[in-house]
Amino acid sequence: MLTSPNGVAAAHKPLAGLRVLEVAQIMAGPTCGLMLSDLGAEVIKIEKHPAGDDARQYQKPGDTALPPSFRMINRGKRSVALDTRTPEGKAVLQRMVAKADVLTENFRRGVMERLGLGYDDLKAFNPALIYCSISGYGREGPMASKGGFDLILQAFSGLIAATGEPGRAPVKPGFSVADTNAGILAAFGIVSAYVHRLRTGEGSRVDTSLLQAAMQQTYWLSANYLSTGRDTEPLGTAHSLIAPYQVFQASDGGIVIGGGNPKSWRGICQVLGHPEWEADARFDHPQRRVQYRDELSALIDGALATATVAEWCERFDSIGVPAGPVQTTGQALEHPQTRAVGMVIDVPDMGDGITRAVGSPVSFNGRSEPVTTPAPRVGEHTSEVLQEFGFDAAEIEALKAQGVIAQG
C-alpha cells in the first residue's frame, strides 16, 4: 500500500487497493496516472530501460536535475526500469499484469501489439484487466496510425483557429489542453470500467485520444457550427454569445467581468455609475449587447480606468456581479484560496527538502490532500516492486545480469 512521507496509508481514498501499471510516458498517460494516484491507486511506472520516460529529458539548457514538469505529474508513483523489447522483459510484464488491475499505454496504434503486449495478448493473463490506450487520432479511421502531439491536435481540432485576437494570427492556448484532457478522460474511462468490473467481474478495453480530448473542448464552438454552418471567429477573451463577458482594463491591470444575465448586467451599470446604459438602444437586449460589443467594451474600459482592479472587484462582489482579477500562474498559486481547496500541496522531493506541487482537483468527505511521494528516479523501485509481484531474489538478480531490468 502506498504511503505518504509521514507513513499514513492512502486507505481513505476511494481507489485504495487499485493497482495500475503505467506503460505510458510524457504527459497524457502520466496525467491519467497522477489522477488515479491522487485518488488512492497504487501506480507503478513501467519505464523503458535504460533511458526511462522521455519527459525526463525535457530540461532547459544547463539543467541537470529532474525536470520540474516531470516531477509535477509523476509524484506518488514508483518506477520499474524494464526492457519490454526482449522476451524476458515481456515475460516480466505479463507476470505483473496477472496481479494488476489496470494497464495504461499511450503509444502509436500497433506498437504494443507488435511487442505482444496488446489487450488481446494481456487479457489471457488477466481476464479482468482494464487496459487503457491513449492515442493521437483514435484507433479507427484513416489517420489511426499517425502519432499524436498536443500542438498538432489542438490545431487539427479547431481550438487554435478559434483562439486569439480578432484579425490577428491564430494562437495556441497557453497550456497542453489535448494532453491534459486526454489524461483526465482516460482516468474517467478507467474508473467507469472499474465500476463495471465490480458489478460483473469483466475487464474492459478503454480508449481515448488527443483528438477526442481536444474535440470534447469545442462544445460551444461546435454548437455554433452545427447550427449555423459558420465557424466561430477568434474573439480574444470575449464570448460569442454573451456581452459583456471578457477582460477589461482597470487603472492597474486586467479584470474579467461577466454580464451573463439581466441581474448581472444591471449590477454592472450600477457599479460603473452608468444606469443609462440599461436603456441605451444598443445595449437594452442581450443580442444587441453582443452586436455592439466593441462600443460597449470601450465604454466599460473608460469607466474602469478610474480605479484599481482590487477596488472594482470589491464593488462588484458587494452586489454579486461575477468579476475577478487577471492573475499570473504564480499569483494564482500563491493565493490563499488555491491553498485552501488543496490545489497547492507540499511534496518531499529528492534532496531538495519540501517543494510544492499542484494537488488533486477532487475531494471526498472534505478531504482532498493526496497521499503522495516524490517523483521516482528511473527504476528506483524495480527490486521492491518485483518482489511484491512474486519474483524471488535469484530471479531479480538474473534479470539484472541480463540487462532486462535496472535498479535506480
Residues labelled catalytic: 179
Instruction: Give, in order, the Cα–Cα distances in Å from 66 to each of 59, 271, 347.
Output: 8, 50, 15
In the sheet that holds 245-250, the strands lie side by side as: 245-250, 253-258, 323-325
Strands 102-105 and 19-23: parallel
Calpha distance 87→91 (Å, rounded): 6
Other beta carbons less than 10 A from residue 329's beta carbon:
9
Scan for cell 531479480, then name that residue: 396
Nine cell digits for residue 309: 482592479
Distance CA 37, CA 357 (A): 14
**C-alpha cell of residue 44:** 507503478
Report the candidate in 144, 117, 307, 132 with the shortest Cα–Cα distance to residue 204. Answer: 132
The neighbouring-strand residues paired with 335 are: none
- Cell output for 318: 458587494
Rounded CA separation 277/403 (Å) = 75
Return the C-alpha cell found at 407.
Answer: 535498479
CA atoms within 13 A on the CB side of 323: 29
Coil vs helix vs strand at 199:
helix
Residue 135: strand, helix, or coil: strand
241, 187, 242: which is closest to 213 by C-alpha? 187
Task: Please tell me the distance from the alpha carbon of residue 376 to that of residue 78, in angstroms, as a whole number.
Answer: 6
